[in-house]
Amino acid sequence: MTQPAGWWRRDKEGTGIWPHRGKVAITGWGQSPVDRRWDGVSMDKTLGAYAMYAAKMALDDAGLKPEDVDGLICCPDSMAGATGGSSAVWAPRPYFEAPYDSEDGLTIVTGGWLQKNMPGLTNLKYNPEQVPAIGEQMGMAAQAVAEGLCQVALVVYTAGNLQGRYRMGGENAGDTVSGNAQWTSVYGQAGLGYTTTGVMQEYCQKYGTTWDDVLAPVVVNEHINGLMHEWSYYTLHEPYALTIEDYKASRFVTYPMRLFDNDRPVNAVGAFIFTTAERAKDMKQKPVYVLNHTGGGGGPLRSSAPTLVEMESWVDRAARMGYEGSGLKPSDVDIFNPYDGYSPFLPISLESFQWKGAKKGDAKDFFNGDITVHGPFPHCSGGGNLGVGRTRTAMYIDGIEQLRGMAGERQVTTRAETAICAFAPGGSAAYLYLSNDITS
Amino acid sequence: MPKPIPVPDELSKPFWDAANEGRLVIHHCKDCDTLQHPPRPRCRDCGSENLEWKEVSGKGRISTCMVIDDGRIGRMHPDQPFNLATIILDEDPRVNMYSNIPGVPVRQAPEGAAVEVFFEEVSPTQKVPEWRLVG
Ligand SMILES: [Zn+2]
């Protein structure tokens, strides 16, 4: 079956409540170990091996077998490679015995590869290609189940990292630049981290504050929360709490953006099970229902550099779309796990979503208040990418665990009935709205 | 300082040709009198294709300035750390361009300060706009 590109994407205002609100549920999650990089030789630590690990964990969590899965949504959009991730020259490489005889299974995982190599995935009727990254992938899964394309969807998100440094290959390593880069890279502006820094500088000017005053406390809090996942990169490899002093002593990447404002690239895979609310009733865990999902967002830049006004308008719009389709108001949202892959997204999303009543310019005071998981304003209780590494899964896993009441050490002491989760870099509108109660 | 060399395309060629002549030109919509940069096939505001290149004063001010301490552009690594400023044009503050503000030490570029354009050679056949403090 073929649908038009982006058929599943909910990216318009004024369309009312999502017609499938509460009719789809997440019933399982899984997460592989989180390594800094794939070493190029360990076959049990490839993205393919980790995809099977995470998928099995998610299925076990839901009480399902691979044979129960009829929809598989993999995102083979590799973060590794010349223009994406690490720039080391690693391909073409000498390959290995099947199934590791190409990049597929090593540094990307397509739906075809996983179907062929994961035992029991024999009943797939929906296995699309061209799947977006996890933010919109989660919405796509919800929509696919809602529309009956499949009954049990397995979402697999692969985050690859190899030797070498991020995005220093390709054109960035050359003498000439073309396309949009002729307006940016000529001066050294080479991506979202740079534009985000500029936007945050504008934020500090506009609201009369400083980078460290706004961001140090929220970054530190994320690291504390991240250490409360048993699987996070920092828990496994660097189990030390970050302090405000550590943050302020850290080196600059793009002054005033510091090292700890950037998420740590890792090699890991996460998996999630989506199914109908009806089938979810009989599964192992308490269902976490999908109230809405949104996608798209951002927009053509007015000029060379995005401005604070643009960024705020994009995220404001994402919030309006999400609240409209979910039927929630800001005061209804208990768990808030926005995207933090660069820390300056956090003040913007806090204020646009008006979480716990935050208004424009409030983030500094908010983040300097009690945002710990056991306090009244448990912001980013999942620790985000900054707290666990760039798996892009912590936001979703935490939302699910908090709503199940199974977040362990991280369980909030406030009400935990609704959650917003996101992988929404820049002006992206990729947010997911969850609830453990659809009776009201 | 060495910069990557822009490769003009059909749309941008007049901009880069003008830079070689020491002129800063910006895409202008004749229907709604809007300036837009970078150039686009259609007006960003009204969708018109009735666009021309308009020479501007080359006056602006620094909106923000960060420092590239650990950047991604290989050609510029030897010059790290260096400024990366956003300049907004006097003619229309919605039009912005990047600059390294040559000559201004890092972390000392005054936000809001007036700047003017000049043209820096990045290859024997290509100049690019750069900006310096006025006065
Ligand atoms: Zn126009």
Asked if residue B2 belongs to a domain, the reply is no
Residue A158 CB contacts under 8 Å (≥ 6 apart), including other chains: A47, A50, A51, A74, A75, A76, A78, A108, A109, A269
B61 and B51, same structural domain?
Answer: no
| Res. A79: pLDDT tops 70 | no
- Residues B115, B92 share a domain: yes
Cα(B45) to centroid(ligand 1), Å: 5
A189 — pLDDT class (breaks 50, 70, 90): very high
| Per-residue CA distances from A87 to A169, A171, B4 (Å) | 5, 11, 18
Q: For tokens 């290609």, what's the residue?
A: A129
Selected for mutation to probe chain B from A172, A177, A251, A255 (highest B CB count within 10 Å) is A255
- The structure tokens listed for B8 are 């003009």
Per cent of chain B over pLDDT 90 is 99
What's the structural domain count of chain B? Answer: 2
Q: Say whether pLDDT at B80 is over 60.
A: yes
For residue B4, tell me if it sits in a domain: no
Q: Which domain holds residue B34?
A: 9-56
Report yes or no: A182 and B7 within 8 Å, Cβ to Cβ. Answer: yes
The answer to whether residue B47 is domain-embedded is yes
Q: Do A176 and B4 touch (CB under 8 A)?
A: yes
Whether chain A has a CB inside 8 Å of the CB on B13: the answer is: no
Same domain? B80 vs B17: no
Q: Are residues B80 and B131 in the same domain?
A: yes
Domains of chain A (ranges, CATH numbers): 24-166+265-280 (3.40.47.10)
Looking at residue A251, the DSSP 8-state letter turns out to be P
Between the alpha carbon of residue A131 and those of residues A78, A138, A341, A404, A432, the distances in Å are 12, 10, 20, 28, 16
User: Which of the four pLDDT bands, split at 50, 70 and 90, describes residue A89?
Assistant: low
Q: How far apart are CA A237 and CA A217, in angstroms?
A: 23
Nearest by CB: B72 against A168, A202, A255? A168
Chains A, B: CB contacts within 8 A come to: 131
Sole residue written with tokens 């590794």 = A80
CB contact under 8 A, A186 and B66: no
What pLDDT is attached to residue A298? 84
Does residue B30 share a domain with residue B78?
Answer: no
| Local confidence band at A165 (pLDDT 50, 70, 90 cut-offs) | confident
Residue B134 and residue B88 share a domain = yes
Chain A residues with CB under 8 Å of B63 CB are 198, 202, 305
Q: Is the pTM for the entire model greater than 0.90?
A: yes
Residue A300's pLDDT is what? 81
Domain shared by B98 and B130, yes or no: yes
Is there a single domain that holds both residue B130 and residue B65? Answer: yes
Mean pLDDT, rounded, of chain A: 94
Contact A304 B9 (CB under 8 A): no
B70 and B51 share one domain:
no
What pairs with residue B83 in β-bridges? B67
pLDDT band of A440, cuts 50, 70, 90: low
Buried b (16+ CB within 10 A) or exposed e, A181-217: bbbbbbbbbbeebbbbbbbbbbbbeebebebbebbbb
Q: Is B89 on the interface with A (CB under 8 A)?
A: no
B134 within some domain? yes
Shared domain for B38 and B64, answered yes or no, is: no
| B120 C-alpha to ligand 1 centroid (Å) | 31
**CB contact, 8 Å: B132 with chain A?**
no
Pick from B10, B72, B97 the residue to mutate for testing the A interface (most A CBs within 10 Å): B72
Residue B81 and residue B128 in one domain: yes
Average pLDDT over residues A296-318: 94
Read off the CATH number of the domain in which B113 is found: 2.40.50
Cα→Cα distances A317→A32, A84, A244, B50, Å:
34, 28, 33, 31
Say whether both B24 and B66 belong to one domain: no
Which of A64-73, A101-110, B72-81 is predicted least confidently? A101-110
Q: Which residues from chain A sit within 8 angstroms of residue B81, using beta carbons?
A: 252, 255
Instruction: Please indicate if any CB of chain A lies within 8 Å of the CB of B73.
Output: yes
Q: How far is ligand 1, taken at its centre, from the CA of residue B50, in Å?
A: 8
Q: Is B114 on the interface with A (CB under 8 A)?
A: no
